[in-house]
Amino acid sequence: MTIAVIVTMGVSLSLLGAGLLTSMEVDLAKRSLYDKIEISVFLCTEQTQGGRCEAGKGTTDAQREQIQQTLEANPEVSEVVYESKQAAFEEFQRVFKDSPVVASRTAEDMQDSFRVRLANPENYAGVVSEAEGLQGVQNVQDLHTVLEPMFTWLGALQWATITMSALLLLAASLQIANTIRMAAFTRRREIGIMRLVGASNLYILLPFLLESLVAGLVGIILAAVALTAGYWFVIVQNAATSITALPWIGWGDLVTAILAIAAVGIALSIVPTLLATRKYLRI
């Protein structure tokens, strides 16, 4: 039963640590990607349709000025940068320089636009809604529609891992309590003798506490080794080198997760033991 306690504790603490590391990575990726997000407000041309465009007409200078003033007046906007058709065409040539599609476009085929940076990238909905309602705006694009599903799935994975670890930790605590209860029952005669000779509760409880703490510490060590190995092989050796566009959690975050699971493991070793032995410590 002690071996079962150690294995269950090690697996559950490993899952808990993995959930904590996943949570740290999701938060770090959100902060990094959201800081880079810009809203692109594309203006009308003679060829574009939809949005707030008039058929066969491009955005007038007055409409362009009104759009810029409205965006700059929004308190959620930190910066508004105008990109002309020529600038958009030069960027198009740079991105598709090795593609034959470059020859099929000219500067007049491009759309001029405004690049909008937000004070708080998570509060983008109001800016997008306002920009879509301005006359002369053909389309408004932002990366939130791409990033939100990814973060939703990562968050679901994070909570699924933590939930599974919580269930396993509950199983481990029940196993610890059952193991200590059986040990106390088999030693009930010795405990009775110690009570008769005046032994204190702490003196009687200490062997059981040490037994559960040793099992918990072994489980913590196994979980720490598993987390360190997983961090090294999954993140350091693979993810960090193959996906350089994202920031990755560091060794400090790993240490924080290990300290967290150590605190949880020690608490789960002590509390069930105190509850399981209280019957034999009553006067």
The tens digit of pLDDT for each residue in 142-197 reads: 777 766 777 777 777 777 777 877 777 777 777 777 777 776 677 767 767 776 77
Query: Do 152 and 243 belong to one domain?
Result: yes
| pLDDT for the residue numbered 232 | 92
Query: Do 68 and 160 belong to one domain?
Result: no
CATH number assigned to the domain comprising residue 50: 3.30.70.3040
Domain final position from 142, 175, 201: 142
Q: Name the token pair of 201.
A: 């509760």
Query: Do 125 and 221 belong to one domain?
Result: no
- 67-to-54, 96, 112, 244, 256 alpha-carbon distances in Å: 16, 30, 12, 36, 47
Tell me the mean pLDDT in the region 231-254.
Answer: 86
Q: Which domain holds residue 77?
A: 38-142
Domain final position from 116, 142, 168: 142
Query: Do 166 and 179 belong to one domain?
Result: yes
Query: Do 275 and 155 belong to one domain?
Result: yes
Query: Do 276 and 204 belong to one domain?
Result: yes
Query: Do 26 and 151 belong to one domain?
Result: yes
Tell me the mean pLDDT in the region 23-33.
Answer: 79
Q: Which comes out higher in pLDDT, residue 235 or 199?
A: 235
Domain final position from 110, 142, 174: 142
Query: Do 152 and 253 belong to one domain?
Result: yes
Query: Whole-angstrom Cα distance, residue 260 to residue 25?
Result: 16
Tell me the mean pLDDT in the region 255-283.
Answer: 79
| pLDDT for the residue numbered 283 | 44
